[in-house]
Structure 1
Amino acid sequence: MTKNTMPDFNEVTRVLESASLMVGAAEFHGVLAGLICAGVKLDATSWEAPFNDLVNEGFGLPAEVKKLATELYSTICVQLTDGNMAFTLLLPDDEQPLDERAEAMAQWAQSFLVGFGMMQSKLNQAPENIQELITDIRDISQVSLDFEQEDEESEIAFSEVSEYLRIGALLCFNEFGQPLTPIKDKPTLH
């Protein structure tokens, strides 16, 4: 995984299941994105405590999961700060049934709000468009996106909603996000 590329949804699912965590891949990514977009300090460790609180009841993560979370955190930070609007949601790929993708998208939205809400206590002071956006994300997280058939119209609707969430996360980050703090190397002893 490069610093700007999301890992495979199925691989994230495998890692989380092997650690017996009760969180799915979309939720895992949504919480991280929510924390970052709400203003957690973008350094090597500030995200860990609130993330552990939300996904593992405050306990540390197993080594493989922590490695994955750290990589995802770095990727999200790069995507949000690089100025290319490259941020993407971690969802099942297009070959999966639309119902599964829609459910994962709703889980992502709900988890984004959980992470966002943990860090952002000044939402009522945010511009009206951001407050409306958060209300929309809440509504998306509560909607049962049950597609009776997989047709072009349903695929378009899914794409539009996921794009709205993607742009919404970017807008939240632009409003509340912190600048990326470079990780300083330890001094070399000679």
Structure 2
Amino acid sequence: MSNATPAPDLPPIAAVDDAVRRLALGVSAAELHGSLCGWLAGGGASRAEWLRDVLADPAAPLTASGDALDDLRLASAAQLADRDFAFELLLPPADATLAERSGALFDWCRGFLGAFGLAAGGDPKLSEEANEALGDIAKLAAAQPQEEGDDEDEDALAEIEEFVRVAALLLHGDCVLAARHRQRLN
């Protein structure tokens, strides 16, 4: 257990949804969060211009200090770096339908994959486990949401969410934390 200050919570998904709609970004809140996390996990900088970076659009707006998207950036960067593994995915709440939650998870994976590639480049130095995890995220990014399900499907979705969370931390560890460690050794 760490004595460090806990990583901040993500803003509510409704606040991020509102900001996405207001700025007409053309992505869901989950996909935008996946993009941000992919960007950060691949070694991209946490800065006010992050929307331009992850959307690959130099005309995208800057986030204002204190708005939901800036809070999303700050909380995500802190959570990815947190040694207590406080990292969370921004997804609909448990009372949303299975289709909404699974669709949002697959959107999150699509966003992660694209922005990770932008930040990490074509041949990032990844461990065998991280390479496999990235391949699994790619498979999830291509998946379609399930319309209906039972308790087994709910359990499977929870397991997939946890896998994606850990995979993102693993990729961040390989691309960012390992690189920082190598720099300190040199």
TM-score where L is the length of structure 2 = 0.83
Tell me how far 1:141 sits from its aligned partner. Answer: 0.8
1:157-172, aligned counterparts within 5 Å? 157-172=156-171
Cα offset for 1:136?
A: 0.3
- 1:77 counterpart residue number: 77
CA distance in 1: counterparts of 2:161 and 2:65, whole angstroms = 26
CA distance in 2, matches of 1:60, 1:3: 27
* CA contact 1:38–1:119 (8 Å) conserved in 2: yes
* Aligned residue number for residue 109 of structure 2: 109
What's the Cα RMSD here?
2.3
Q: Superposition pairs for residues 149-164 of structure 1, below 5 Å? A: 149=149, 151-164=150-163
Match in the other structure for 2:37: 33
Give the letter aligned to residue 10 of structure 2: M
Which aligned segments of 4 or more residues in structure 1 are displaced greater than 4 angstroms?
62-66
Identity rate, percent:
28
Report Cα offsets for 1:68-110 as digits up to 9, x if no partner.
Answer: 3221111011111120100000000011111001000000000
Gaps of 5+ in 2: 1-5, 181-186
Q: How does 1:5-24 map to 2 (within 5 A)?
A: 5-24=9-28
Answering whether residue 52 of structure 2 is matched by residue 48 of structure 1, we say no
Q: Return the offset for 1:147.
A: 4.1
- Note the residue ranges of structure 1 that are not aligned, 5 or more in a row: 180-190
The TM-score with structure 1 as length reference comes to: 0.81
Alignment-derived partner of residue 186 in structure 1? none
Q: 1:129 to 1:14 in 2, by over 3 A?
A: same
| Structure 2 CA distance for aligned equivalents of residues 56 and 141 of structure 1 | 19
